[in-house]
Amino acid sequence: MPNIEIFIVQGYSDEQKRALISAASLATVEAIGAPLDSVRVWLSEIPTSDFGVAGKPLTD
């Protein structure tokens, strides 16, 4: 049973999150041949103030 955890910053719509979960699931099925119903995906949403790129918070 593949488990996929994806960290994203807050702010994506429910529709975008559904699309991401679907795409990640289908990619896993294609890559390793796992049955779709065995793939588990969970999203961890991070506030932009708690996420940094290139040494700076996204809020900067």
pTM for this entry = 0.87
pLDDT at position 30, please? 98
pLDDT at 5 over 90: yes
Domain CATH number, residue 36: 3.30.429.10
17 is a domain residue: yes
Count of domains for the chain: 1
Judged against a pLDDT cut of 90, whether residue 60 lies above it is answered with no
d(CA 57, CA 46): 12
Over residues 14-50, the pLDDT tens digits come to 999 999 999 999 999 999 999 999 999 999 999 989 9
Does 59 fall in a domain?
no
Domain membership of residue 58 (yes or no) is: no
Residue ranges making up the domain that contains 35: 3-52
pLDDT of residue 45: 97
- Tell me if 39 is assigned to some domain: yes
Specify whether 35 is catalytic.
no
Q: For residue 59, what pLDDT is reported?
A: 85
Closest CA to 5 of 53, 54, 56, 40: 40
Catalytic residue among 2, 35, 47, 57: 2
